[in-house]
Structure 1
């Protein structure tokens, strides 16, 4: 079953990376448009700032939910690097269980608040805030699922990968 899902997961991950790259490109183009309009044409365009902020929010939360790998997350290397495989598993269970509990506890309030925000919209683009911030709900659910899975793996005896500075790369 896992071998059948691996190509699908890899394909989905690559599409998420593609979408993230398109968002970054759009943000860069909008940023350049803002610079050209301000300094070449002496024209201030308000929607460019709003679009850049919206894209940034989506890039950070979408990227964290679907693109950033577990091994790429920031850890306290002082403890993580010195731990044995059993210690890594214990830290993974404690950390993942804590995150699952916190995200699950906050999820109803987050959904309620994001739903409430449909009454407000952005100033220039008129994007409803519930649509703009809906990515946080997706992010929270993705974090719950991811850390439940990591917790189960750690309980079953699979230690998380330790960071090896000799194998650090730029993601390529």
Structure 2
């Protein structure tokens, strides 16, 4: 089990590295876009295309593989005031709902991603199925994550006690 934990920690660190590279790419391309448009008076479109692609991948890849459940921003005013048992029930209900909707939409999502192989981006000519593939990975990751959260809520250890007087930033 310790070796799996080490492997998982290593994979998580590499996912964070990839996320940082995406953010750096988006930033550099954004600066290039500003220089070309406002200093050289020569607008270029590929920079906007890369920025949008990086943003979509950054959000979906980050949510699927980097952000942990306790780091997610949520409105927990009601959640923090109920008992541990009620919180577990809320987690199970939410997990079942999310798994249900993602699971019933997954075949259509995968079909749409496959269909988009006929379209390409305007400047870089990247196939849309490659660009949209991150959503398929995101959907599968959300199903797995919610199944795990539901399992933990039913059979796992009790959650950490909630102290509404302390503000946390996910740490």
Task: State how far apart, in whole Å, the 2-side matches of 1:43 and 1:143 are.
Answer: 42
Contact 1:89 1:158 in 2 (8 A): no
Task: State how far apart, in whole Å, the 2-side matches of 1:89 and 1:170 are.
Answer: 19
> Which structure 2 segments of 5+ residues have no match?
none
Note closer, same or farther for the CA distance 1:147–1:162 as it changes in structure 2 (3 Å cut). Answer: farther
1:51 and 2:28 are equivalent in the alignment: no
- In the other structure, the counterpart of 1:128 is 127
Task: State how far apart, in whole Å, the 1-side matches of 2:160 and 2:63 are.
Answer: 18
Give me the TM-score of the superposition, normalised by structure 2.
0.93
Contact 1:81 1:163 in 2 (8 A): yes
- In the other structure, the counterpart of 1:66 is 65
SS at match of 2:40: coil
Give the deviation of 1:169 after TM superposition: 3.5
- In the other structure, the counterpart of 1:113 is 112
1:89 and 2:88 are equivalent in the alignment: yes
Give the paired residue count. 170
Give me the TM-score of the superposition, normalised by structure 1.
0.92
> Which structure 1 segments of 5+ residues have no match?
none
- In the other structure, the counterpart of 2:29 is 30
1:100 and 2:99 are equivalent in the alignment: yes
Give the deviation of 1:78 after TM superposition: 1.5
Task: State how far apart, in whole Å, the 2-side matches of 1:10 and 1:126 are.
Answer: 36
Give the deviation of 1:168 after TM superposition: 2.1
Give the deviation of 1:7 after TM superposition: 1.1
Contact 1:27 1:51 in 2 (8 A): yes
Give the deviation of 1:85 after TM superposition: 1.2
- In the other structure, the counterpart of 2:141 is 142
1:80-138: CA deviation from partner (whole Å, max 9, x where unpaired): 11122111110110001111111111000000001000011110011111000000000
